Structure 1
Amino acid sequence: MNDPQKLPCADDFMNQHVEVVTQDMTLTEVIRFLLKHKISNAPVVDQQDQKPVLVGFVSERDCLSALSNELFFGNPSPAQTVKTIMSSHPICITPETELFSIVSIFVNHRLRHLPVVQNGILLGIVSRREILAAMETYYNHSLHTQEHERLLRDTSQALNLRFTIDRS
């Protein structure tokens, strides 16, 4: 982030110490895990060659839905596990994803966390709070180094993340 023209990327501010869960954890185990670690969601990984491969994402919302359905409708058969309640194809970013692209994803998809993945391997996670802090730092740095100069940027990358065009 020393170069004023270079936008910060996920690699600059992602949290690399991520609490993860596995697909075979029961509903009760994942709820207790989230509560114990005081987190609202967790990446779901499979260990392959000592590396965490991202296979999904589980959230408090997923747990609430599964738990309330189980309590209201009765015990499902087979029992609920992380594999049965997780989001199997979460939106992910790479370490090189630039700050404004990440902001666009957060704002337009109303997410709270994004896994940072490269070649399927989970490297870290970025939260809205970390993005807000990075934006504030970048904003203050920009004010002092660019003297309020407005930079023309290539917005195609960020715009491509905001809209999906149906060509059918």
Structure 2
Amino acid sequence: MGIKSFQGKRAEPEKIQSAPIMVKDYMSHSLITFGKDDPVINVIQALIKHKISGAPVVNERNELIGVISDGDCMKQISENRYYNIPIGDKRVGDFMEINVPTIDKNTNIFDCASLFYKHNCRRFPIIENGKLIGQISRKDILCAAMKLRAQNWHS
């Protein structure tokens, strides 16, 4: 006589229906920004003070014209060593990146994560009606993923 086991009808796994989590739910609205004529030394001081790695560069109409990062500042420091000047009086416009990918506030965070991977950048500015309205960072996406995990995957 063999051992038999009986299993009743299994319940269907519960499907979690939740609204898509969008960039607008996690983006930063209060941004530190710079103008193209700001001295790079001011950027370095702000990056250190606020513990950030970069910031958008805008014109007087709050339109995005570029991004300046800690890497851009490092380039300026490196170039000035040949003149024996640790940090010169160069302006943001001389070192900022102008080919900046932006993202729509209604992008799903999973799609945004893929875009971070594809573009290998640390932040995406968010534009609406031509104006800078916010920014999303890699860290913001990680926070969204952890919140989603806490809501859906109870340990």
Give the TM-score of the pair, scaled to structure 2: 0.78
2:38 matched residue in structure 1: 25
Matches within 5 A, 1:50-89: 52-72=62-82, 80-89=90-99
Alignment root-mean-square deviation, CA: 2.2
Structure 1 Cα separation of the partners of residues 120 and 81 of structure 2: 28
The partner residue of 1:41 within 15, 33, 54 is 54
Q: 2:24 aligns with which of 5, 8, 11?
A: 11
Q: Can you list the C-alpha shifts for 1:122-151, whole angstroms capped at 9, x where unaligned?
A: 11111111101101222343436xxxxxxx
Give structure 1 stretches of 5+ with no counterpart: 145-168
Q: Which residue of 2 aligns with 1:159?
A: none
Give secondary structure in 1 for the equivalent of 2:63.
strand
Percent of residue pairs identical: 30
1:28-70 superposed Cα distances (whole Å, 9 cap, x missing partner): 222222223222101001122xxx2111100000000121112
Aligned-residue offset at 1:85: 0.4
Alignment of 1:156-167 (within 5 A): none
Query: Would you tell me which structure has more helix in proportion to its own residues?
Result: 1
Look up the match of 1:152. none
TM-score (norm 1): 0.73
Task: Tell me how far 1:20 sits from its aligned partner.
Answer: 0.6
Question: SS of the counterpart of 1:47?
Answer: coil
Residues 14 and 125 in structure 1, CA contact (< 8 A), matched pair in contact too: yes
Letter in 1 for 2:23: A
Q: Unpaired segments of 5 or more residues in structure 2?
A: 1-15
Q: How many residues align?
A: 137
**Aligned 1:124-139 pairs, distance under 5 A:** 124-139=134-149
